[in-house]
Amino acid sequence: MRNFFRLLRFGAPYRHFAFLNALFNLLGTVFHLASLLLFIPFLRLLLGQVQPVHERPAALWTREGLEGTFNWGLTQLIEARGPMGALLVIAIGVVVLFLLKNVFRYLALVAICNFRNRIIQDIRSRIYDKLLELPLRYHTNERKGDLLSLITNDMQVVEYSVMYYIEMIFREPIAVLLFLGTMLTLSPQLTVISLLLLPISGLLIARISKSLKRKSARVQEKSADLLARVEETLSGIRVIKAFNGESDMKRRFERDNELLARSSIAMLNRQDIASPLSETLGAAVMAAIAYIGGSFVLGETPSLTGDSFLGFIIIFSQLLAPIKGFSQGWSGITRGGASGQRIFDLLAVENTVKEKPDAKPIADFTDRIDYTDVSFAYESRPKEGIENRKAVLEGIELVIPKGRSVALVGTSGGGKTTLANLLPRFHDVTGGALRIDGHDIRDLRLRDLRALMGIVTQDSILFNDSVAANIAFGAPGTPMAEIERAARIANAHDFIARLENGYQTAIGDGGNRLSGGQKQRLAIARAVLKNPPILILDEATSALDTESERLVQDALLKMMEGRTSVVIAHRLSTIQHCDEICVIDKGRIIERGTHAELHALGGQYRRLCDMQAFA
């Protein structure tokens, strides 16, 4: 329940919908009850038990006064229209009351639909904002399937749970109170007996609902596993086909699918038993009430008339429906509690890369980048709060003056990409300081800091949009002339012009309608359009063929002119023009200098060059 109250806080801006739902449910229940009460005079007419009342009672707001007034009106109706005419009027009245009941029921559903969907909309937005806010380290540790399940399956569970919750809180208690109040006016004794019998069914249903939270949590976990498997398949479909791995992936998928099906069946079986069980118990209670009530009617000293007893039974039968709805609502709340816990677990994840409240603005890069005794370590198990750190960088001393280009080379896993990722604060240093123009980057505004940088990675991250939209990503409203100029600098204009719709051509999911070289040149054009003073090039040409590499390398050289650049490369032929080359091994800079100096030194850089047959 605690998670549900936390979820319902998102509904504060939309509480007017909850109020309207309660109001319309109240009116609907009143008209429903009135339609049921009309069956009593209907039965009296059929049974010939109408007692004429020719004087209207003076006391209206008592049971006797209300019943007497109603009988007086019924007497007037029978005298004016006859028994059949009165029967027709009552029948029409019942239809009209049922119509009004259903009109207000529909309006209540409209209100609750708006309420729950607006809550879900805001929760989805909060989750998406949190996903954007969290640092790269979190996304590295988490599976995409878990996050996709959270924003789809868990949201659906929470949506219907909120609906059940509101209906349970507002509609069902109102109906129960009105029905009980009417039953008390008809037969207080029989009503008390009914209240003693009903809790038996409630206790049994509560026992069943208690285990639903565990079952629901397992279903959501298995659903996340299945989504992760599908996402993995779509991302690696080329490798799967190339290595004839379809049968292996199908086997893995079928295993996850089977586990999800078993979990879902177990949960739904437990959930669905609540409804037939409550109905069976309700029928048993109804039979007991009918037997006991029959003794009140057929006894030697009858305390209840036959028509009133039948009216009592009709209203009591309607009382079972909101009690059944209450049990279903409780089941929904139990399921939603598990999903709500997963949502709040995500929202509670701490962002380790935080902007200080008094962060300084920075508009331009004017002097130098300074790594001072920088060290960095990943927490291997950050989710469990265990301080188990693995050092990636240690004692890095590096100064990059404005306008200079520095290359980072070395074997894989040495820390090159991590060193570059510290600059835009994808991670924060765990020791030492990283400064731009003498300012510790942790003291600067994140948006301003990243605005100074353009990044081109080995994997060209493009979006399912047009060519122009991808080049102008992050800068909406950019004139087409500026987009085309950036494309020309990136050697991309010629192939874009040959596309079906030019710059307005949709490039598909991840740019899969383009070749690797074309995607990379679009990524470079995106960085060119940003016109940043600092460039970070992470293996920007390593995955390209010779011709594409030449075009991309030419575009990179044009983009690097007059800019400060940090270049990560395995192909050493692409970085010999850099002002300084740093060889990184096991998190430390072991050599530095120009290409000629390092080659002549005969150390690690020379061995790397020789392995690539580069002289």
Q: Are 370 and 399 contacting, i.e. CB atoms less than 8 angstroms apart?
A: yes
pLDDT of residue 558: 77
All structural domains of the chain with their residue ranges: 2-347, 403-428+441-611
Q: For the chain of 615 residues, list the mean pLDDT of each consecutive stretch of 10.
A: 78 88 88 77 60 70 66 76 79 87 91 87 87 79 76 80 70 80 82 76 59 67 78 72 76 86 80 68 76 79 72 77 69 73 85 86 90 84 51 89 90 86 89 92 90 82 87 86 88 88 86 83 85 84 63 76 85 81 90 89 86 58
Going by C-alpha positions, the residue among 558, 569, 488 that lies closest to residue 525 is 488
Alpha helix segments (H runs only) across 299-437: 306-347, 416-421
Q: Are 282 and 324 contacting, i.e. CB atoms less than 8 angstroms apart?
A: yes
Q: What is the dihedral of CA 545, 551, 556, 561, to 10 degrees?
A: 150
Do β-strands 431-436 and 368-379 pair in parallel, antiparallel, or remain unpaired? antiparallel
CA gap 260, 266 in Å, rounded: 10
Q: Which residues of 191-225 are buried (b: 16+ CB within 10 A; e: fewer)?
A: bebbeebbeebeebbeebbeebbebbbbbbbbbbb
DSSP conformational letter for 360: B
Global pTM reads 0.71
Extract the runs of DSSP E, i.e. beta strands, from 402-470: 405-409, 431-436, 439-440, 453-457
Q: Are 557 and 541 contacting, i.e. CB atoms less than 8 angstroms apart?
A: no
| Dihedral class, residue 74 (left if φ above 0, else alpha if ψ from -120 to 50, else beta) | alpha
Structure tokens at 13: 């801006």
Looking at the domain that runs over 2-347, which CATH code has it been given? 1.20.1560.10
pLDDT of residue 615: 41
| The CATH fold of domain 403-428+441-611 | Rossmann fold (3.40.50)
Handedness of CA 546, 552, 556, 557 (dihedral sign): positive
Q: Are 356 and 443 contacting, i.e. CB atoms less than 8 angstroms apart?
A: yes
Q: Are 140 and 187 contacting, i.e. CB atoms less than 8 angstroms apart?
A: no
pLDDT of residue 278: 66
- Burial class of 383 by CB neighbour count within 10 A (0 to 12, 13 to 18, 19+): exposed
